[in-house]
Amino acid sequence: MKFLITLISIFIFSNSSYANTLLTCDAPKGKGYFYEGVMIPKNQAGWSDDGMSKGSFSLIKNKDKFDILYKDASGALVSSTADGGMVVPLGNNKINFTFLVSYPNITAELFTFNIVKKKLAFSQHKYGSSIMDKRVLFVANCN
């Protein structure tokens, strides 16, 4: 899996001799809050256990630029930037690397990768033109 992610990151970054996978985090799980709406009936609204049993996130660095690759519901590996997201580094203290990924008028995601403890804390807020009004907070183990 790590080899495949590295290969894809090389393809994504045109000048890829410096591309590096810093962490890959699998099967994030936690809690989700679902608002009643088109996709969610009233009896399913509210807090629920949630997760991505077959999902993963990888933090990629190429020179001074970062990207977050994710495995989507179909199993395909997708670059956040190639998918229209803006990956904004919010800060790092050499232990925690925190990023905002914004898909304008659809979704905002906050990632904190702990490089030392090899953990990911992930928050996602679907809004705007997304058909599902949902918020999640997940954690995942990384390697």
Count of other CB atoms within 10 angstroms of residue 79: 20
Q: pLDDT tens-digit profile of 70-104?
A: 997 788 999 999 999 999 999 999 999 999 999 99
As a whole number of angstroms, the distance between CA 79 and CA 135 comes to 21
Q: pLDDT tens-digit profile of 33-46?
A: 999 988 899 999 99
pLDDT over 70 at 23, yes or no:
yes
Residue type, 122: F
Q: What is the pLDDT at residue 129?
A: 76
As a whole number of angstroms, the distance between CA 84 and CA 98 comes to 19
Torsion of CA 87, 85, 125, 105, to 10 degrees: 130
Q: pLDDT tens-digit profile of 6-15?
A: 444 444 444 4
How crowded is the C-beta side of 54, counted as CA atoms within 13 Å? Answer: 6
As a whole number of angstroms, the distance between CA 127 and CA 134 comes to 7
Show the domains of the chain with their CATH numbers: 2-142 (2.40.128)
| Beta bridge pairs of residue 140 | 120
Distances in Å between the Cα of 41 and the Cα atoms of 32, 46, 91, 137 are 15, 10, 38, 21
